[in-house]
Structure 1
Amino acid sequence: MNTSKLIALDADGVLLDYNLAYAGAWERAFGQRPALRNPQAYWAVERWGVPVLQGEALQRFRSSFDAQFWSTVPAIAGAVRACEKLVAAGYELVCVSALKPEFAQARQANLKALGFPIEKVMATSSEAANGRSPKAHALAQLRPVAFVDDFLPYFQGVPAQIHSALVLREPEGSPNHGAGLDAVHSSHSHLAQFADWWLAR
């Protein structure tokens, strides 16, 4: 039995609202905030009324995903309180994020500014290797009691003794379906629901 008091949490989609921040990045790059097209879309590019970019315009947009962007992503409603509840119950929290390592400090500053009781950010690759989650190695080292993410492929290869909790957010275009669900121990609509369920077990 895993008796760890450490819980690993994904950032974008669990702690932080990347999809909302995406609209801000677009506005920074092009001077106009995009209109909301589909609030039920999982992917930001499908949620907002934006065109497919190529060439110089694409490079311009990508350049706005800098340290300023990664240090100013807003919190998902209820996420800070959920973390506070877990910490009050004796758990330590770590953020395991598929983020370029050079932005880990910006992500840490972002979480701190928002009031999250999280002292450590581990940045991993975003690319799977041999069908294994890019987060699996970090999680095997950390050995948390639970890992919460909103992207089903990131549970592939995670040690079975770690409780895998999937956040099932916006359904349209979501990758969170199929055979991979068999490896998930629980699913929740958001982190606040996971925290209440976990503490009530």
Structure 2
Amino acid sequence: MSGHRVLALDADGVLLDYNLAYAGAWQRAFGRYPALRNSHAYWAADRWDVERLNGEALHQFRAGLDAQFWSALPAVPSALEACQQLEGAGFELVCLTALPPQFAQARLANLRAHGFPIERVIATGNDASAGSPKATALAQLQPLAFVDDYLPNFAGLPEGIHGALVLREPEGSPNCGPALQQLHSTHASLAAFAHWWLVEKQEN
């Protein structure tokens, strides 16, 4: 596929609110909806008042992160409108997610249920042993831009692809350090990126 009008968008933290869904997953696993601990925390386990899991409890929690879970995450506020604006401007939107490939269809069903104008999900898995798990897919897709909320996913970003980082909740965020200098732009949300991409970038 030629990427001349393609934008690659991450899902969790960009299109879909995994941190909010995490609390529901915790309730299903342990029968208790956790209290909010820190609304500015980057990681879900720091956002909610939950204990660190290991052993059988961790297995029990992860067992609940099944196709049903991945097909029912809430949308990030304003993300749908941002995607509609980008699609309306003639861009093809592809979801590039580090989910295991067996959940690609659940993710696509989730996006469709919210009305996202996205017809393709590429699920790479999250093996980062050789750098970003998304680098190979990006090299094949060759989108105009790649939008993600996790700085390590930009490692090895192929030449010619605009790297746009969503800087969401700051506390405990991995989105810091020298690697930030390798990016082309940073934004508060996908909506902020869409406005910049469609309006401000064209004016400069």
Length-normalised TM-score, structure 1:
0.97
The residue aligned with 2:114 is 114
State the distance in 2 between where 1:3 and 1:127 align. 24
Shift of 1:156: 0.5
CA distance in 2, matches of 1:74, 1:43: 17
> What fraction of aligned residue pairs are identical, expressed as a percent?
64
Task: State the one-letter code of the partner of 2:82.
Answer: A
SS at match of 2:174: coil
Q: What is the match of residue 188 of structure 2?
A: 189
Give the superposition deviation at 1:57: 1.4
2-structure distance, mates of 1:13, 1:124: 17
What is the alpha-carbon distance in structure 1 between the residues aligned to residue 41 and residue 3 of structure 2?
Answer: 37
Task: Name the counterpart of 1:161.
Answer: 160
Deviation at 1:3, TM superposition (A): 7.4
Tell me the CA shift for residue 32 of structure 1: 1.1
Deviations 1:105-130 (A, max 9, x none): 00000000011000000001212233
Aligned partner of 2:5 in structure 1 is 5
CA contact (8 A) 2:7 2:145 kept: yes
Alignment partners' CA distance in 2, 1:89 and 1:51: 45
Q: 1:178 to 1:4 in 2, by over 3 A?
A: same
Residues 33-52 of structure 1 mapped to structure 2, 5 A cutoff: 33-52=33-52
Say whether residues 1:66 and 2:53 are aligned partners: no
- Contact preservation (8 Å) 2:3, 2:141: no
Superposition deviation, residue 54 in structure 1: 2.2
Gaps of at least 5 residues in structure 2 are none
Tell me what 1:144 maps to.
143
User: Structure 1: which 5+ residue stretches go unaligned?
Assistant: none
Distance 1:183 1:134 in 2: 17
Do the aligned partners of residues 14 and 159 (structure 1) sit closer, same or farther apart at CA in structure 2, a change above 3 Å counting?
same
Distance 1:16 1:160 in 2: 27
1:103 is matched with which residue?
A: 103
- In the alignment, what sits opposite 1:177? 176
SS in 2 for 1:16: coil
RMSD: 1.1
